Structure 1
Amino acid sequence: MSLAERVARAVDAAPIVDLHTHLFAPQFGALNLWGIDELLTYHYLVAETLRAEPKVSPEAFFARDKAAQADLVWDALFVRRSPLSEATSGVATVLHAFGLDPAAKDLREARAFFAARRVEQHVEDVLRLAGVTALAMTNDPTDPAERAVWEAGVAPDPRFHAALRVDRLVSSQDLARELDRWIARMRPRYLAISVEEVSAPPRAVLDVCRAHDLPFAMMIGVTRAVNPRLGVAGDGMRAVSLAPLERLAAENPDVRFLITTLARENTHALCVVARKFANVLPFGCWWFMNNPSLIEETTSMRLEMLGPTFVPQHSDARVLDQLIYKWRHARRSIASALSRRYAAMSVAPTDAQIERDARALLGGIAGEWLGA
């Protein structure tokens, strides 16, 4: 067996702890998105469809019901064009995993398949097919639908860990009290915020992280609504200075920071920051970086600069079924990057060493920071 085959085998077998998703446990009811119509109306595919079909205005697209939107996406991107983008090939991967035809002329077979599924069994099947043993949700207590679930005292599936999103919560007049209240109710594994540029969070956020020994996650570089007509699909990105992150890490050595950046140009700078500050953990290839070529490139660079002390990927999935393709595709890119680094070693690694490193990168390090 070749080195590449040995590495691929170890990476494929490694259990995954997914450090950042937008998924919900089945106990959250309608917030738990799954099925073919949800897959096809994911905002990546919406943006691609409106690019491919410029005669369809965003307003006309969003005026359709979800099934009609999905039909349009399927026809535009799968029937009349080849699914070459990562978003479309991902849908094809999911359909193939369930024994469905990704070249079908319409969605009748896929809709019938998903309509016959029970949500509890579907969750089990998806996690098994993706190789995911635990994941972090994104939980915003200012969202009325989600807030109602938490206030009803619902206990989520123990594999779905809470992550307290503070983007809108930071405007609270009594932020410290609000954070303590939601930490007590949700028992989150970390606090998180999405920002365009790095800035120090309110003191209460860092104090709460210290008091509860919780990491603070920053997702850096998103520019909201560069094309507001596209709704969620209309956000963009920018490269930013990470000098404020260096100051934040230096001034708060007792706070752990989970960091991912949206711009390719920032990935190298983040590695440099992480080399200097052990309380900074680079994680994943986020959003526009979540493409196999960029995952492989970024993982190679991180291995060269940091060794196996980072989290190469998180799914960022919003639809449950996306876990299948996001992790199947990511595993290939991670295995390829690992193989090149092993090939550069003066002494060939043993199977035990490869398995150890794969388990650390795919789930071990994330599990330690997540407490999973």
Structure 2
Amino acid sequence: MTSELRQRIYQQLASVELIDPHTHINPLDAGSHTLVDILGYHYYTELAHSAGMPREQIEDPAISAKEKVGRLIEGIGPIDNTIQYSWLIDICQRFFGFEGDRLDASNWEALFDSSEAQMADAGWSDEVLRRSNVKSVFLTNDFDDPLAGFDTAKYVPCLRTDDLVFHLGKPEVRQRLEAATKVSVGSWTELREAIGVLFEHFTTNNARACAISIPPSFAPEPVSDGRVETALDAVLKDGVNADESHLRALSHRIFWTLAEMCDQYELPFDLMIGVNRGVYPTGVFQGQDLYDSRVSLIQYQQLLNAFPRVTFPISVLASVTNQELASYAWIFPNVVTNGHWWYSNTPSIIERDAAHRLEAVPRTKQIGYYSDAYKLEFVAPKFDMYRKILAKVLEQYYVIDRSWSEERAVEFGTQVLRGNVETTFKIS
């Protein structure tokens, strides 16, 4: 049973207006339109597929949104034990007035129709933000995003750089870069100029971070001008078929340059470390990648030492890396623990990892949580899960075990939940 103390701590944390520091939301289409936008989230499609539903049934392009929801309802029965299913029920109850605790053949169609009518309202996205008590959300913007047509104070841009670092060998990526920057990339000097144009564009439009998702094998290091010119020449000539040594040298130098630009433009550099792409290539869309525990933050030793003025909010995909992350944040002034990412985003793992961070890392260097949401409706249930865990940890480890006052514990929780987002990303 939840104690009265824990419930009071939770209620006070729940009153804190949120800033979500990492999402994949499209600011021009932020809310859902039908239940297919919610049930189509990769957590549900990959779990339904894992439980036995063929990918071809899930991703059939010939069926309507309503037909797809009907199929998924049939397929998600075995996942009602998961935390992801609880997010789904929370959304349906919180936003659509659903009174049950399971979706099945007897009730999903009525919910589909009634929720579709609500989501058709022109102000739906703002209504979701209001009911979720969310002030703003950070985006994940492609480097060539024009950043136009939306309020950048509400939907905060973040420069995502995976394509620049890992896919510049693809002609279409170089074409996008040249179109976005009006710089013809034929030399390293020109490529560096183009990267600078991107930073100027993003910071002018209220960007608050640069970010990248990194495979476990990546170990960034500085690369000389001469070596990167040779590498770039080879990549421009042979593209993705260039020798691996050239592709690696180019990616390392681009990554290093991004850190230099973050230093120059005073942007935090979000590192999301440890994802191995395409492990299950026949999986559903976005359900093919897994964590790889063969990663260590020692691979970032040179980077962290070379850029002491750059703040690195770091997310690790595997809980097994959490103690190492907490240790690096303990020692390095420029390392900040950042959220509970993807496969570490379940209550039992969050509780253990969060408790360790709260006990070991300076209170100013912890970003408690981000939703990683693709649609606004998911921000509320995910953050609510985290707030309940945070209240539990604060009650047990601080009020009971260390005799903190309730007020002091709530103040600490508020700083981790909201305050450190403001200071880390310089949000007024």
TM-score (norm 1): 0.88
Q: Mark the CA change 1:44 to 1:175 in structure 2 (over 3 Å): closer, same or farther.
A: farther
2:58 maps to 1:61: yes
Q: CA deviation digits over 1:327-364, x for unaligned, max 9?
A: 1111111111111221355443142x233212211111
Residue 260 of structure 1, CA deviation:
0.3
C-alpha contact 1:14 1:358 (8 A) present in aligned 2: no
Following the alignment from structure 2 to structure 1, what is the Cα–Cα distance between the partners of residues 143 and 410? 39
1:324-343 to 2 correspondences below 5 Å: 324-343=380-399
Aligned-partner SS, 1:229:
coil
SS in 1 for 2:272: strand
Question: Percent identical across equivalent pairs?
Answer: 23
Residues 88-135 of structure 1, C-alpha deviations (whole Å, 9 max, x = no match): 111001001121245352432333233323455222222233222222
Q: Does 1:320 align with 2:340?
A: no
Q: Distance in 2 between matches of 1:246 and 1:348?
A: 36
1:199 to 216, 219, 222: 219
Are 2:351 and 1:356 aligned?
no
Match of 2:51 in 1: 52
Structure 2 partner of 1:21: 23
Amino acid of the residue matched to residue 110 of structure 2?
Answer: E
Structure 2 residue 426 is matched with structure 1 residue 371: yes
Moved more, 110-119 or 93-102: 110-119
- Cα distance between partner residues in 2 of 1:120 and 1:157: 19
Task: Provide the rounded CA distance (Å) in 2 between the counterparts of 1:293 and 1:325.
Answer: 16
Unaligned segments of structure 2, at least 5 residues: 169-173, 175-184, 221-251
Residue 185 (structure 1) aligns with: 201
1:33 deviates by 4.6
Q: 3-state DSSP class of the match of 2:411?
A: helix
Look up the equivalent residue of 1:50 and give its one-letter code: H
Relative to structure 1, the CA distance from residue 109 to residue 370 in structure 2 (aligned partners, 3 Å threshold; closer, same or farther) is: farther
Deviation of 1:178 (Å): 3.0
- CA distance, structure 2, for counterparts of residue 367 and residue 113 of structure 1: 38
Deviation at 1:43, TM superposition (A): 0.9
The equivalent of 1:95 in structure 2 is: 92
Equivalences, count: 357
> SS state of the match for residue 376, structure 2?
coil
Instruction: Measure the CA separation in 2 of the matches of 1:210 and 1:195.
Output: 20
Please, which runs of 5 or more residues in structure 1 have no aligned partner? Answer: none
Matched, 1:156 2:211: no
1:286–1:229 distance in 2 versus 1, CA, 3 Å: same
1:107 aligns with 2:108: yes
Instruction: From the superposition, tell whether residues 178 and 57 of structure 1 become closer, same or farther in structure 2 (CA, over 3 Å).
Output: same
Could you say which residue in structure 2 is the equivalent of 1:213? 266
Alignment of 1:173-322 (within 5 A): 173=185, 174-186=190-202, 187=205, 188-197=207-216, 198-200=218-220, 201=252, 202-230=255-283, 231-239=285-293, 240-309=295-364, 310-322=366-378
- Which amino acid in the other structure matches residue 275 of structure 2? V
Q: Secondary structure at the match of 1:371?
A: coil
Q: CA deviation at 1:71?
A: 1.7
Contact 1:195–1:219 (CA under 8 A) maintained in structure 2 = yes
In 1, the alpha carbon distance for the partners of 2:194 and 2:316 equals 28
Distance 1:34 1:292 in 2: 29
1:27-76: per-residue Cα shift (whole Å, max 9, x none)?
x24x76554111101111111111222xx432343124344332211122
Amino acid at match of 2:371: S
AA aligned opposite 1:195: I
TM-score (norm 2): 0.77
Q: Relative contact order, CA 8 A, sep 6+: which one is greater?
A: 1
The aligned residue for residue 141 of structure 1 is: 143
